[in-house]
Chains A and B, each alone.
Chain A
Amino acid sequence: MAILERAFATRELQDPSWFRRIFSDTRLAPLWALARMYLGYQWLLAGWHKMWGDGRWINLPGEDGGPLKGFWERATTIPEEGSPAIKYDWYRDFLKYMLDNEWYTWFSWVIAFGEVLAGVALIVGAFTGIAALAGATMNFNFMLAGAASTNPVLFILAILVMFGWKVAGWIGIDRWLLPALGTPWQPGTVTKPIAEAAGHGLPGRHPGST
């Protein structure tokens, strides 16, 4: 027991200064803004194609989600020769379940709107970390389904933007949104009175307080 207590005793491991300089320093905000806007532009473009493009996924004359249905069918097919697009059986079962239940009719809307919203949020820098997480989740799912395309690059970029969530939206709405709304562990100027009224205030934890 003593060895476990010693191993997991309360201690905080500090990030090296170069790590903090890259992911927390506002002097690098212009670089993060460029990365964030590029990512957002790519998502907006992808979403635009699915919403309004020639090969759109929604707003079709017949049943919505035809292209998504085709994508899922191709992804879940196990070829007689060669390796299947999906490597994980559980993910193939998951897609087959959605396919069998015709979820592509509404899921194509979720993907199209999700891509446009993530793109716009990244471009304007609103809830940048959450928008990057949404983008990374979509990249992750496309890659699991066997579609490489630009997904690996966008996935890595989204992970980096998530690491730099504090500064990635500095040249963006987050510059005002985050101090106003705060975080779950540190209420902002707007949410602080509400948190204190609810008895969840954390006196002494705010940098401005003594």
Chain B
Amino acid sequence: MERAIALLLGIAAWTGVAVTAVLVVNAWQDENQILAFLPIAAAVVLAWGVGEWVTERVFGMHEEVRRGNS
């Protein structure tokens, strides 16, 4: 259950990045490319952060066990 929620959270975060990118391009087109690039980059960093946090919380212990066994 926990893993399914983590997977859903990850999918939602990255879908959010894709939606943000399309909305930003739709709103600003190529009027100011640097300004338009910032929210996209921020969304990517945020989604990556969410992914790392969820991975650490849900799968972190398993990683340590695997490393300890090898």
Contacts and interface: CB of A to CB of B under 8 A. Distances in A.
Interface of A: 33-34, 37-38, 40-41, 44-45, 48-49, 52-53, 119-120, 123-126, 171-173, 175-176, 208, 210
A13 B64 CA distance: 34
**By DSSP majority rule, is chain B's interface helix, strand, loop, or mixed?**
helix
Contacts of B51: 175-176
A37 B36 CA distance: 12
B22 A45 contact: no
A124 B30 contact: no
B40 A37 contact: yes
Contacts of B37: 37-38, 41
Contact of B44 (A33, A44, A45, A48): A33
B36 A175 contact: no
A52 B26 contact: yes
Contacts of B18: 120, 123-124
Given A48-B26, A119-B21, A173-B14, A41 B33 contact: yes
